[in-house]
Amino acid sequence: MQMKYAVLGAGHGGLAMAGHLGLMGHQVRLWARNQQALDGVARSGGVMLSGVVEGFGPVDVRPDLAGALAGADLVLVVVPASAHREIAYNCAPYLSSGQKVLLMPGRTAGAIEFRHTLRAAGCTADVLVGEAQTFLYASRRTGPASARIHGIKRTVCAAALPARRTMELLDAIKPAFPQFMPARWVWKTSLDNIGAIFHPAVVLMNTGWIETTRGTFRHYLDGISPAVAGCLERLDAERVAVARALGVGALSAIEWLGEAYGSAGSTLYEAIQQTPAYFGVGAIDTIDHRYLWEDVPTGLVPIAELGRACSVPTPLTDSLIALASAVCGQNFRSSGRTLARLGLEGLSPEQIAYVAMEGEMIGA
């Protein structure tokens, strides 16, 4: 079944996804905040893909957001999660009842923030908002109109607000990507946010190497040594404990690697070393990168905030937030997805769970 998709974002993920959708024969419109990122695709008429997917996918570039959204069955938001609030405000005037929005991925509490922002911006349309637990690919933009897909995950969970409408969301994405499977609710997708585990701590523990070599090493295979992996396992245990307090059976990082990529290992270090999709993924060349300014405020901060609401201590998470803030010269704690910013301040763990299940704030 041919669907009409709008892809918002033309970075590593958005360019690859738009090209892949076009290659499969779906109608796809592409929009980006940075209009220059669209120039190459506009000139060529699409995206050339390499890697595990090869070929040319036709893509319709739309410089205006209204044109990109009009008539789309599903809007795929493929931008850093730190931009979700801005995108929601900008989309609010143009979304129509019956349309669906899927954050790719939502990171932690992305769907809740996006939906809350739409309403604050005056959007009264019945728009179904949901989030993916992670991005479908390991991919990199390789040119103005080209991308390489290093690997495609075997399964990716997604959920909608409210939870009972998740299958509606999946009906819109499965014609293109059957890998998507239903999660019980968005707290499952949000608290299985492995990017919060695999990105900030690795960057912070390799900052000197990144700045000295400009990233001439592999993020996963070289940057995650046995000692770094041990730190990640302890950080991961805090995330899993917060999830458990909300009634979420979150996957551990090792379990997630097995489910997403079929990787095996008795330790996190061993499992990462057995993940082929990570073999060609290089390190970042600057610490001014989304691995910090996205994954800390939209991953570590809401995890710590939910821990506070549930009386679950998160000392390592808190320490990494403070260290990232010092390294970047920002206060990620105040600018991130706090309970107050999500409209959840003062709610009990039971009430916070209710929001994700029913899609409504208490008393709304």
Query: Which residues are designated catalytic?
Result: 199, 295
For 200-221, b where at least 16 C-beta lie within 10 A, e where not — what string? Answer: bbbbbbbeebbeeeebeeebbb
Looking at residue 74, the DSSP 8-state letter turns out to be E
CA–CA dist 100, 73 (Å, integer):
7
The DSSP line for 140-198 is EEEETTEEEEEEE-S-EEEEEESGGGHHHHHHHHTTT-TTEEE-SSHHHHHHT-THHHH
Do 322 and 360 contact (CB within 8 A), yes or no?
A: no
Do 271 and 229 contact (CB within 8 A), yes or no?
A: no
Looking at residue 296, the DSSP 8-state letter turns out to be I
49 bridge partner residues = 55, 147
* CA torsion, ordered 129, 126, 185, 191, to nearest 10 deg: 30
160 bridge partner residues = 130
Sheet holding 60-61, edge to edge: 60-61, 27-31, 4-8, 74-77, 100-103, 128-132, 156-161, 180-182
Q: Are β-strands 180-182 and 4-8 bridged in parallel, bridged antiparallel, or unpaired?
A: unpaired
Q: Are β-strands 146-152 and 137-143 bridged in parallel, bridged antiparallel, or unpaired?
A: antiparallel
Angle between helices 301-309 and 226-245 (to 10 degrees): 40
27 bridge partner residues = 4
* C-alpha triplet 329, 330, 333: angle, nearest 5°: 140
**Neighbouring C-beta atoms of residue 2, cutoff 10 Å:** 11
